[in-house]
Every structure is written in structure tokens, then in C-alpha cells.
């Protein structure tokens, strides 16, 4: 066997090994633990329904972007939103936004984990929210043949919804550049970690 052929076979084996490892990692990373100052929230992720969004969320989590951020927007009986600001209400820098995936059939139901964005459909970056109730107004839909853009659901709470509900009940007010909806006492997102998780 020639040296070139050996090298080619080794290179192919290396590539196949990397692909297999990435596939195994993606398959295993279907849950994440959001560790907060009020308790843990475990979410199940849906890479089959929102692949770019789940990858983006896990990339931000593994890079430490979410470490020591806060829930900066709490609307009682609606949503709790975080992942973008420090406790001093300094916005964390983000990467380029990700493509819109809200037309994946998933709904903004109670417990659903979804991406926050601006008015532009392809503007979601790092911030996310948990729905405290069914919020059909946030869903992607069609109206008279035209799309009404919603907010991409990419997971759901499977453990710790009582923590999300408790966060949703805290006192809020104005702070920093926000006119309202900021918890008076900061609720810290200590970190977000991909985990292997089972209800068994």
C-alpha cells in the first residue's frame, strides 16, 4: 500500500469518525438544565424540528454566554425571558442571528421554550423565553394565504415548571433602559448545561 493511499484511508477514517462523534453528540444533547437562583429548569430540545435554533442555543450555552445572566423580562401569566443581559443590565454581545424556524409546527404552549427576536423574522440571536401559558398569538400562522411570523419554539420544560411559575410571580419594575417588567430582585441564570436526562 502506498503512502498516499494510506494517508487517504486514514483521512477518510478520521472524517467518518468525526461525523459519527458529532451525530452521537447531537443525539445525546436533547436536554439542557437551566440553573437559576430560584431553582433548576430542565428543558427537552427538538433538533429535528428546529436544528439551527437548537445548535445556536447549545453553542451559546457551552461558550458560557448564559452564565450569570438574568431574567430581564418577566410578564406575569405570559412569559419569562432571559439570556441576554448581565445583572447590571449590560447586554452581552452576540453572534450573527439565526434563520427563522417558527414554521416547524411547534406551538407556543405553556412550558414551551422559544426564541426572542426583533420585528425582523430572521433576527433571533441569544435570548429565549419560556411560555407561562398557551400563547397562540406568538405562533407562526397563515392568514389569507400570507405568513404571519411567530416565535420559534425549539423545546419545552419537562422538569421545574414550578420554578418558571415562581419566577413569573416576582415583583417587577423599571430598570436600566427598560420601562417595566424587570425583576426588582435579580433572578440569576447561573448557567445552562446540556445534560443526559430521564424521568426514570
The band of 2, judged by pLDDT with boundaries at 50, 70 and 90, is low
Predicted pLDDT of residue 29:
58
* C-alpha cell of residue 179: 420601562
What would the mean pLDDT of 70-77 be, rounded to a whole number? 98
Predicted pLDDT of residue 11:
42
Residues 6+ apart with CB under 8 A from 78: 131, 132, 133, 135, 168
Global pTM reads 0.85
Residues 6+ apart with CB under 8 A from 108: 114, 131, 134, 135, 136, 138, 139, 150, 151, 153
Classified by CATH at the fold level, domain 30-195 comes out as: Cyclophilin (2.40.100)
Whether pLDDT at 13 is above 80: no
Q: What percent of the chain has pLDDT over 70?
A: 84
| Tens digit of each residue's pLDDT (9 = 90 or more) over 17-41 | 343 334 434 444 599 999 999 999 9
What would the mean pLDDT of 164-187 be, rounded to a whole number? 97
Least Cα distance to 187 among 199, 200, 169 occurs for 169
* C-alpha cell of residue 159: 422538569
User: What's the chain's average pLDDT?
Assistant: 88
Predicted pLDDT of residue 175:
96
| Tens digit of each residue's pLDDT (9 = 90 or more) over 110-140 | 999 999 999 999 999 999 999 999 999 999 9
Amino acid at each position: 500500500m502506498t503512502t498516499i493511499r494510506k494517508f487517504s484511508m486514514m483521512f477518510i477514517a478520521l472524517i467518518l469518525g468525526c461525523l459519527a462523534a458529532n451525530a452521537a453528540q447531537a443525539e445525546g444533547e436533547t436536554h439542557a438544565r437551566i440553573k437559576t437562583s430560584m431553582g433548576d429548569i430542565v428543558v427537552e430540545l427538538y433538533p429535528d424540528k428546529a436544528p439551527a435554533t437548537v445548535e445556536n442555543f447549545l453553542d451559546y450555552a457551552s461558550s458560557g454566554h448564559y452564565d450569570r445572566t438574568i431574567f430581564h423580562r418577566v410578564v406575569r401569566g405570559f412569559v419569562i425571558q432571559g439570556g441576554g443581559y448581565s445583572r447590571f443590565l449590560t447586554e452581552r454581545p452576540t453572534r450573527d442571528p439565526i434563520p427563522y424556524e417558527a414554521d416547524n409546527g411547534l406551538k407556543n404552549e405553556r412550558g414551551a421554550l422559544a426564541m426572542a427576536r426583533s420585528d425582523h423574522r430572521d433576527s433571533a440571536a441569544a435570548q429565549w423565553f419560556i411560555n407561562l401559558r398557551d400563547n397562540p398569538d406568538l405562533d407562526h400562522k397563515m392568514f389569507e394565504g400570507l405568513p404571519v411570523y411567530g416565535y420559534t419554539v425549539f423545546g419545552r420544560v419537562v422538569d421545574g415548571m414550578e420554578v418558571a411559575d415562581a419566577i413569573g410571580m416576582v415583583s417587577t419594575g423599571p430598570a436600566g433602559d427598560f420601562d417595566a417588567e424587570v425583576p426588582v430582585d435579580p433572578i440569576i441564570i447561573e448557567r445552562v448545561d446540556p445534560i443526559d436526562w430521564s424521568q426514570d
